[in-house]
Structure 1
Amino acid sequence: MSEQLNEFSATAITENQLVPWPRVAAVAAMVSFSLPTFITGLEVSQGLSAIDAVWALVWGSVIILIIGAVMGAIGANSRMSSYLLVRVAFGDLGASLVNIAFAISLLGWFGININLFAGAVSRLALEVWGQNLPTIGLAIFASICMTITTIVGFKAINLLATLLVPVLAFVTFLLARSAFETHTLDEIMAVEKTATLTIGDGISAIVGAIIIGAIILPDITRFVRHWSGAVYAAIIAYMIVQLVVMAAASLAGSVSGKTDILDIMLDLNLGLGAFAIVIAGSWVLNSLNPYTTVLSIKATFPGLSSRWLAIGLGAVGVIAALLNILDSFVTFLFYLSVIFIPVAGVIIIDWALIRPAAYTIDTLENNRPINVPGFIAWAIGAMFAVLASEMLLPTLTGIAAMDAVILAGIVYTILAWRNRIEVSS
């Protein structure tokens, strides 16, 4: 089992581990079917007029697609996880800091999703069946199931996703269809709402909720046979499934006037569908969180046991959820996520322009300790992202996360360009 969970955390994927790209796309799509995606689509639609919400959903998905497709293609080409890519881009010492930040963030989101899962299932059980299930027991049980899935590794996550995607696609279809049973599309688009967001705010909400998954997409696209499969997986996950899921939530929310996705589904007699989305979507999403956390820690500390690391991370996540310390942790996680978003800008530029030949597993045998230009670019991008998020600096695109990625890429290009031929040769 430890060989399974190791999942080539310190090495490249071998030929016999490759799978057809639709199987990888199923995993990426399952993340888009998760409860947070429905909630994001609903929140954006509630804060914008119908036409502005459409633009926000489309452009937010396009941005995520671009970043996810490029990062996924890099992972497919190199056969390395996102954390090994960080080692190539930032050096061994630099990668330790970045990967620890990744691990803390992903572990925190594991605990938050456990909390969300337990509360939602407890409420649905009471509403649908009149059963009062304790949230503590649900949280512990969910954590155990998700940790076991993590321990088995990508094959278990992939099998789970492949089986559940059709179910969740059907539930999403029912949710969207329910909106058209009482209203036409023209009527839905004509619903008057007081705008509390700008289109830029809506796009930022979508990008902020999904972009971390796009940055770490190499963790699963490294299993595809060709880089084009990674692009196809990104298209299906971000421009089809994610867009449809958020649109379905938006349509149902516009018709019902309610702001809680579970309230909406219960009103539409989709209680069992709500169970499917909460349980299935959360299971795959929260199996991926500790899975990628293990990859990040193993990439930095390869001597640790993968099995016990996964068990320990699962225990820490559920304890944090049970102690209810995650409410105050959410703000910290938000800023942590914003801070490492510019990592994508450095990796993409390093791979595309500065050192394309360096993105092989052989580079890690004599890897540099730290890439100073990369760290400077990351620091500038991260500082800008934080200040822009606090509205202390204006944004060029209206989306702080995108500005940070672009800024980090530009700064890194300027600082590293003179070494391009020397390093790439």
Structure 2
Amino acid sequence: MRYLFYSIVILYLMPDDTQSLILDLKKYTMNKNNVTSGEDYAFKPVPLNARSNLFTVTLIRIGIMTALAQFMLGAMLGHAMTFGEALLATFLGSLILEFVSLGLGIAGAREGLSTSLLARWCGFGRLGSVLIGLVIAVSLLGWFGVQNAVFANGLNYAFDGQLGFAWSAAISGMVITVLVAFGFRALSWTAKIAVPLFFFVIAWISLILLEGHNIVALITSAPAGTPLTLGAAATAVAGGYIVCALTTADISRYCQNERHVFWMVTWSIIVGEFIVNSIAILIAHALNTDDVVSIMTQTAGVLGLLSVILSAVKINDVNLYSSSLAFANTVEGVTGKKWRHTWLTLGLGIIGTTLSIMGILEEFTRFLIILGVVFPPIAGVMLVDYYILRTSRQLFDAARAEQKLPTEASTPQIGWLAVFACVVGTLAGLGIKFGIPSLNSILVAGLVYGGLAKINPSLRSSRI
């Protein structure tokens, strides 16, 4: 719990941790803790000897936070707000992401479990966690299909339309699917290649677009678009990556300790939110438009195409990876059978690829955005249960010592109180007209769950 508060204390940024990141950068190829086996620990804790290094997990996380969608968000803020207002909105939204990511990320690293498995012992129970896993799996599989369509369009353009969209989507989708079938190792390989290349390409394109403009003048210039309120802007920042925050444990379970989680989350937010948003805001002011990504990709020729492909690759591998983990928990929770992660990944990848080929996902995107509203309350309930109520703390401690899953002897089948709190939190996020909706929903869900559990502890432990 203490690391949640340290995240806003500057004295936490110790030189030895910065040196640790540098040492990991130099030594990651020789790190004995890298995952070298085919085991991806979908149904059990990640042991300490299978954990990865700080550089690898941070690079994977940065890859998630720096897709072209982030440039779209930054451009939207820049077109509707001044530079200072846009950065303030970025800061407020990032605080929510930092809080949720750190809370769930530290829990994931401590217990070695993915988000959907953690939910089983953080208020939702066995079948409740099945529901959480299903929501995560459907959402991320949908976004996999959306991003695959982006990748396919870029691939088809590269071949002058000779492949056609359907074949391009099939090729791009199956390439990513086969990669992710290798598990966490695939995320590591992809991140080490795609993230540096993506930043090189984006930096080059940004220099081209900003050439001849006075940076100080751009910072002080007035926005050209329709004004956006601070609350709406901060919600857009937090909402854009709230699913990523909720699934932080899927990656942080490979962190060696809690400080590595802090650095992984903090560096990814600094790079993904502040640096990328700042560049996009300046470009939006320079071009007087929020359609920055189209201009970036269309005016930069091969580099623009490469930025599209790299962006889709590095975000889509994580989309499919977390979707397969969540669905694995869903299948095991319903049937009691533990399907191999590799086969689940291949199956889900084929489904997502097929949906993108059929064009269904163009209509599905609105549903995915609406679905994202339910994620903040889930995080609120899990954080309150794990850090304040500590419902399963003894189970976690005993399981950690034996490096196995906690026993389900005293775990409810469905945590009705957690489900009820999520419903109330979602309604609050949608209905309360002041403040930041994402934060409102987290706070209301957490307060309802924690308050009712304190008043009547039997509510959270009731069984069906």
Shared fold, TM over 0.5: yes
Aligned position for 2:350: 315
- Structure 2 counterpart of 1:28, from 43, 61, 66: 61
Whole-angstrom distance in 2 between the partners of 1:41 and 1:103: 27
Aligned position for 1:306: 341
Matches for 1:18-417 after TM superposition, within 5 Å:
18-89=51-122, 90-123=124-157, 125=158, 133-178=163-208, 180-192=210-222, 193-266=224-297, 270-302=300-332, 303=337, 304-355=339-390, 356-359=393-396, 360=399, 361-366=404-409, 367-385=411-429, 388=430, 393-397=431-435, 399-417=436-454
Q: Could you give the per-residue CA deviations for residues 243-302 of structure 1, whole angstroms, max 9, x where no partner exists?
A: 2112212212221234333433257x5333323322222112111112111111212323
Contact kept in structure 1, 2:93 and 2:234, CA below 8 Å: yes
- In structure 2, do the counterparts of structure 1 residues 113 and 132 end up closer, same or farther at CA, with 3 Å as the change threshold? same
Contact kept in structure 1, 2:58 and 2:268, CA below 8 Å: yes
Partner SS state of residue 181, structure 2: helix
Partner SS state of residue 197, structure 1: coil
State the TM-score, normalizing by the size of structure 2.
0.82
- In structure 2, do the counterparts of structure 1 residues 151 and 274 end up closer, same or farther at CA, with 3 Å as the change threshold? same
Partner SS state of residue 356, structure 2: helix
- Aligned Cα root-mean-square deviation (Å): 2.5
Whole-angstrom distance in 2 between the partners of 1:96 and 1:320: 23
Whole-angstrom distance in 2 between the partners of 1:27 and 1:96: 26
Moved more, 409-418 or 362-371: 362-371
How far did 1:176 drift?
4.1
How far did 1:409 drift?
0.7
Unpaired runs of 5+ in structure 1? none
- In structure 2, do the counterparts of structure 1 residues 255 and 121 end up closer, same or farther at CA, with 3 Å as the change threshold? farther
How far did 1:335 drift?
1.7
Moved more, 230-239 or 308-317: 308-317
Contact kept in structure 2, 1:18 and 1:223, CA below 8 Å: yes
Partner SS state of residue 301, structure 1: helix
Partner SS state of residue 152, structure 1: coil
- In structure 2, do the counterparts of structure 1 residues 309 and 357 end up closer, same or farther at CA, with 3 Å as the change threshold? same
Q: Which runs of 4+ in 1 moved over 6 A?
A: none
Q: Could you give the per-residue CA deviations for residues 326-353 of structure 1, whole angstroms, max 9, x where no partner exists?
A: 1221121112111232110011111111
Whole-angstrom distance in 1 between the partners of 2:156 and 2:285: 26
- In structure 2, do the counterparts of structure 1 residues 196 and 254 end up closer, same or farther at CA, with 3 Å as the change threshold? same
Contact kept in structure 1, 2:56 and 2:188, CA below 8 Å: yes
Contact kept in structure 2, 1:88 and 1:364, CA below 8 Å: no
Contact kept in structure 2, 1:87 and 1:94, CA below 8 Å: yes
Whole-angstrom distance in 2 between the partners of 1:112 and 1:266: 18
Task: Return the structure number with greater relative CO, CA threshold 8 A, min gap 6.
Answer: 1
Partner SS state of residue 241, structure 2: helix
Q: In the alignment, residue 297 of structure 1 is paired with which amino acid? A: F
Moved more, 373-382 or 85-94: 373-382
Partner SS state of residue 226, structure 2: coil
Moved more, 269-278 or 65-74: 269-278
Identity rate, percent: 25
Partner SS state of residue 13, structure 1: coil
Whole-angstrom distance in 2 between the partners of 1:133 and 1:179: 31
How far did 1:5 drift?
6.4
How far did 1:49 drift?
2.7
Q: Could you give the per-residue CA deviations for residues 141-184 of structure 1, whole angstroms, max 9, x where no partner exists?
A: 11011101110111111121022322222233334434553122
Q: In the alignment, residue 287 of structure 1 is paired with which amino acid? A: D
Unpaired runs of 5+ in structure 2? 1-35
State the TM-score, normalizing by the size of structure 1.
0.89
Moved more, 322-331 or 81-90: 322-331
**1:12 maps onto 2:45 in alignment:** yes
Whole-angstrom distance in 1 between the partners of 2:357 and 2:67: 21
Q: Could you give the per-residue CA deviations for residues 10-41 of structure 1, whole angstroms, max 9, x where no partner exists?
A: 10001221111221010000112212112111
Aligned length in residues: 410
How far did 1:135 drift?
1.9
